[in-house]
């Protein structure tokens, strides 16, 4: 530290109790003006985080000292907007301010990212906090015919320092009649719009003095068709088209419904009043406390005051709904709202919710804080669900279950989504991230604990094995790319937020939480969670607050360990070698960053990696060997004689790949064949091999040989993962002459399990068998297996003529099989089934299957259909994506995307659905020419919210091309010999 202290010239001493800066990973790295900070416990260098002098520090409340300085500028002058006692400061020497209050933060998203993307980001400043809201009284009157709304609000304010303008967020809102009143009188405000910043300013002829006051206004807006803010959702009663008025505010769209401080850290309470037609249901976060007539046709509903919370969690719904209800064991009233006439489809979700709320009460040690919890199915909804406090909104397919039409897979999905959103009622709503940089903390945690909850409610689902496939596998696939990003990624402008609602925030986030939970043990983890939630309830937090609580509860180095996982992009591949030592085994383990193309990383990476193994002696019990903290270390495995196999990463809990020498891998193959290696480990083994092959670190032929060892496999999730990996190879081989041979190989590989599961439900079969049947028959149908195609056609015809309805679990695979092997007549029958379907799940199932057609003209019809009035905007993306399973379909979908880019870009307005569409229409190509074509198109037509997705797709195209060039000769020879 001494060499830096010599250059300490101009400095700032601030007071703040909201930051504990003596931790190993300081949360303030996003908002320091210069890269050095001195706390009373030590010096911390922030330059490695890309801290930039355009970022200005503001703090909020007093307690511990901070020192911020620039070693490169001899004269540092504080920005005038850093309001210490109301003005800018020039500090030529050490200066201490022992009582500085009401200092806020500004962010500039010109701060360099820590990932590989380099692009010009929009400049952004967070709202000043010289004025903050305490309570909003909001009155809204939606017009469900004109599709507009009128509103008024009175905001109770705390003015912390004199201001002549109050700024807040507003977007597509027109404000009238703004007035400020306080004890000294009333003053009218002049309204000024800052459209680019999505802000509105209220200017006053003279400064408003510090103290309490009330800002009131009237405003109008549109019930838009963008599924953002306060928007309209279309439904039909008979042949009559009607609209509901619903909300989706996360991340920054509360400002489309009413002017507000639309940042998660600026919390307040809310009093909502809705004026709605008397024949409509109207819901908000809290129960109704009064109802009265507003006119002969309208009623006025006033809701109880909410807890203090963030704007993105507020919600209102006005429409026609039925409901089912129950009270959980703690006395909370739970209702599931459904479209009229379909309330019985809410029973399953209701049962899950009534079990789940008490489970979380016990796990967190904190009672659910609201008197009611509503779950409601919305016809038009861009996300899967949204955790609004006390009024959780869902896509119909994520909430409704029909015994006749819902597949086992969707039923399980509903259970997971309900568990996810209810977890947010504590983790996200009660305790909220300070800024969107910490989004992963919300989503990663909820994506982990949803599995814990569903495993408690439905142990027969074996969801933790599915986690290894669905979340860990998905995370590792994306995070191996050069164009990935750290879990904790800096976010500035709202346009950047949608881009991180991705597999890193959700799936990698949940995977590192699972790894941490395993490392700490359930009891210490629960203690830490209780400590975190009680310490910060109704407040905002940073990632390090959670680490501090878990470290305090467990006594383990959580902060030090976890910063290696959240602040670094990527993950390690562990290279293992072994040496026998009597009856024990010495494992030498080294780590390097795993890259999707197998290249050597350009800089050093190091993670703190928990190492566990299972062995032939204890296949179902993990032996924890310790932490790998350096580039390499040696670990001793007891009770592992020479003839015993040893598998690293027991239970596939660790967020890493493992690369074995040939003798260790050969020893594991018999354990795969005889199923003595547990399912999670069988899955993890072949998943690692596939990824290593894709990276060029092992041959594709070796992967195919090991795949044949799964001939006795019975586990649904293992087969699902195998099917996914084989499909990836098949898609690349579409650009070769050996596709037919590969399809024949795949059919033979899946033939034994297909004979075992059959087409019909067997008496006493387990709950996962229908899902296994769907996967296996889907693979064989897609590969053109003659017996499967013939039987699918027979059953499809019987389904269409009404003589024998297809079970819900078979419909997707049968629809895709008959479409892939049929023509015009089959397509017409599918369209008829779509038109006749009265459940959204069936419409989605059919529309996503349509793209399996192989004829060019039929593919074009599917693409045109995706933009027709018959397809909801939320589903268009997936209908288009459904056409990309063949090389021809990929070409046509990409052309369709380019031809309709303006329409699609406007429709999704840069949201995450556009990112999904970009991904599905581009990443499957396998030539350098296509990579350049995609690159050129998006250079000419930039999409800021999908910029990282574009780069990831281009990278994947090049990976596919390299794999094809590198592996095709050997794969071709192998398939010839095999067949």
By annotation, the residues acting in catalysis are: 421
Phi, psi of 65 (to 5 degrees): -80, 145
Cβ-contact 186, 180 below 8 angstroms: yes
Name the residue among 431, 388, 429, 390 with its Cα closest to residue 531: 431
The pair of structure tokens assigned to 140 is 């809204």
Rounded CA-CA distance 214/193 in Å is: 20
Question: Biggest alpha carbon distance in the chain?
Answer: 92
Cβ-contact 215, 136 below 8 angstroms: no
Displacement of CA 339 from its chain's centroid (Å)? 27
Cβ-contact 376, 337 below 8 angstroms: yes
Helix (H, G, I), strand (E, B) or coil at 343: helix
Rounded CA-CA distance 217/231 in Å is: 21
* Residue-wise burial string across 132-144, b where 16 or more C-beta atoms lie within 10 A, e elsewhere: bbebbbbbbbbeb
The strand order across the sheet containing 321-327 reads: 321-327, 333-339, 372-378, 391-395, 385-386
Angle at 212 between CA 211 and CA 216, to 5 degrees: 130
Helix (H, G, I), strand (E, B) or coil at 765: coil
The pair of structure tokens assigned to 531 is 């400590």
Name the residue among 871, 922, 931 with its Cα closest to residue 893: 922
CB atoms within 10 A of CB 331: 9
Cα first-last separation, the chain: 68
The pair of structure tokens assigned to 594 is 């795993």
- Those residues whose C-beta lies under 8 Å from the C-beta of residue 219, and which sit 6 or more positions away, are 150, 151, 152, 153, 170, 173, 174, 175, 176, 258, 259
The pair of structure tokens assigned to 176 is 């009238």
- The secondary structure of 49-77, three-state, reads HCCCCCCCCCCCCCCEEEEEECCCCCCCE
Catalogue the E-assigned strands of 542-700: 572-581, 584-593, 609-615, 623-628, 632-637, 646-648, 657-659
The kind and range of the H/E element at 276 are: strand 269-277
């Amino acid at each position: 530290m001494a060499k830096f202290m010599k250059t300490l010239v101009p400095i700032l001493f601030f007071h703040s109790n909201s930051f504990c800066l003596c931790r190993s990973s300081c949360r303030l790295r996003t908002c320091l003006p210069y890269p050095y900070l001195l706390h009373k416990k030590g010096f911390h260098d922030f330059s490695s985080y890309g801290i930039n002098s355009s970022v200005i520090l503001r703090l909020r409340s007093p307690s511990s000292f901070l020192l911020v300085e620039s070693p490169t500028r001899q004269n540092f002058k504080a920005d005038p907007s850093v309001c210490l006692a109301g003005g800018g400061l020039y500090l030529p020497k050490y200066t201490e301010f022992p009582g500085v209050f009401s200092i806020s933060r500004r962010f500039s998203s010109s701060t360099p990212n820590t990932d590989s993307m380099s692009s010009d980001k929009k400049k952004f400043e967070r709202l000043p906090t010289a004025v903050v809201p305490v309570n909003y009284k909001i009155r809204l009157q939606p017009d469900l015919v004109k599709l507009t709304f009128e509103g008024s609000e009175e905001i109770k304010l705390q003015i912390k320092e004199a201001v002549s303008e109050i700024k807040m967020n507003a977007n597509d809102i027109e404000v009238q009649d703004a007035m400020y009143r306080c004890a000294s009188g009333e003053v009218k405000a002049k309204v000024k719009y800052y459209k680019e910043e999505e802000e509105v300013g209220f200017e006053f002829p003279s400064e408003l003095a510090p103290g309490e006051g009330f800002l009131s206004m009237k405003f109008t807006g549109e019930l838009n068709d963008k599924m953002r803010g306060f928007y309209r959702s279309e439904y039909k009663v008979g042949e009559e088209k009607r609209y509901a008025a619903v909300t989706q505010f996360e991340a920054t769209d509360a400002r489309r419904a009413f002017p507000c401080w639309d940042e998660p850290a600026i919390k307040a309470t809310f009093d909502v009043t809705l004026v709605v037609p008397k024949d409509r249901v109207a819901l908000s976060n809290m129960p109704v406390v009064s109802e009265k007539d507003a006119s002969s046709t309208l009623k006025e509903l006033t809701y109880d005051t909410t807890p203090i919370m963030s704007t993105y969690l507020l919600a209102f719904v006005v429409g026609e709904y039925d409901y089912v209800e129950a009270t959980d064991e703690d006395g909370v009233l739970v209702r599931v709202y459904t479209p009229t006439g379909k309330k019985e489809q809410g029973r399953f979700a209701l049962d899950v919710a009534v079990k789940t709320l008490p489970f979380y009460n016990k796990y967190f040690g904190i009672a659910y804080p609201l008197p009611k919890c509503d779950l409601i199915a919305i016809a038009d909804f861009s996300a899967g669900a949204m955790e609004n406090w006390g009024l959780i909104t869902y896509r119909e397919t994520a909430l409704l279950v029909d015994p006749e039409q819902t597949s086992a897979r969707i039923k399980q999905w509903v259970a997971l989504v309900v568990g996810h959103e209810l977890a947010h009622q504590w983790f996200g709503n009660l305790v909220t991230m300070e800024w969107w940089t910490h989004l992963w903390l919300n989503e990663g945690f909820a994506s982990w604990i949803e599995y814990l909850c569903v495993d408690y409610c439905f142990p027969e689902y074996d969801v933790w094995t599915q986690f290894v496939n669905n979340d860990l596998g998905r995370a590792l696939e994306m995070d191996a790319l050069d164009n990935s990003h750290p879990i904790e990624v800096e976010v500035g402008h709202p346009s950047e937020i949608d881009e991180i609602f991705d597999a890193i925030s959700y799936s990698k986030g949940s995977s590192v939480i699972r790894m941490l939970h395993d490392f700490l043990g359930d009891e210490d983890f629960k203690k830490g969670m209780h400590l975190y939630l009680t310490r910060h309830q109704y407040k905002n937090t940073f990632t390090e607050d959670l680490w501090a609580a878990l470290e305090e509860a467990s006594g383990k180095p959580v902060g030090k360990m976890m910063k290696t996982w959240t602040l670094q992009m990527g993950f390690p591949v562990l290279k293992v070698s072994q040496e026998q030592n009597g009856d024990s085994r010495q494992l030498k383990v080294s780590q390097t960053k795993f890259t999707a193309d197998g290249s050597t990383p350009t800089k050093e990476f190091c993670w703190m990696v928990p190492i566990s193994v299972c062995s032939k002696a204890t296949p179902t019990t993990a032996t924890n060997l310790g932490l790998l903290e350096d580039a390499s270390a040696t670990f001793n495995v007891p009770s592992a004689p020479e003839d015993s196999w040893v598998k690293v990463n027991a239970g596939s809990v660790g967020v890493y790949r493992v690369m074995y020498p040939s003798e260790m891998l050969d020893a594991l193959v018999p354990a795969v064949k005889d199923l003595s290696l547990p399912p999670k480990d069988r899955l993890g083994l072949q998943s690692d091999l596939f990824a290593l092959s894709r990276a060029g670190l092992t041959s594709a032929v070796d992967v195919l040989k090991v795949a044949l060892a799964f001939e006795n496999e019975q586990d649904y999730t293992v087969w699902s993962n195998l099917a996914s990996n084989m499909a990836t190879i098949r898609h690349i081989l579409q650009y070769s002459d050996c596709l037919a041979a590969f399809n024949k190989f795949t059919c033979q590989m899946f033939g034994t399990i297909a004979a075992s599961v059959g087409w019909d439900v067997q008496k006493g079969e387990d709950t996962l068998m229908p899902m296994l049947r769907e996967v296996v028959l889907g693979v064989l149908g897609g590969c053109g297996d003659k017996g499967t195609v013939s039987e699918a056609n027979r059953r499809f015809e019987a389904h269409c003529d009404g003589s024998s309805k297809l079970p819900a679990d078979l419909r997707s695979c049968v629809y895709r099989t008959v479409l892939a092997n049929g023509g015009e007549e089959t397509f017409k029958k599918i369209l008829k089934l779509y038109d006749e379907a009265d459940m959204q799940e069936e419409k989605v199932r059919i529309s996503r299957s349509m793209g399996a057609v192989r004829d060019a003209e039929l593919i074009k019809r599917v693409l045109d259909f995706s933009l027709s009035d018959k397809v909801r905007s939320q589903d268009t993306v997936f209908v288009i994506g459904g056409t990309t399973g063949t090389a021809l379909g990929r070409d046509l979908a990409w052309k369709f995307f380019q031809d309709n880019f303006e329409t699609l870009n406007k429709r999704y307005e840069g949201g995450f659905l556009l990112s999904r569409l970009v991904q599905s229409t581009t990443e499957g190509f396998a030539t350098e020419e296509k990579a350049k074509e995609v690159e050129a198109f998006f250079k000419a037509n930039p999409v800021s919210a999908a910029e990282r997705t574009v780069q990831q797709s281009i990278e994947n195209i090049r990976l596919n091309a390299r794999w094809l060039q590198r592996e095709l000769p050997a794969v071709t020879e192998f398939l010839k010999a095999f067949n």
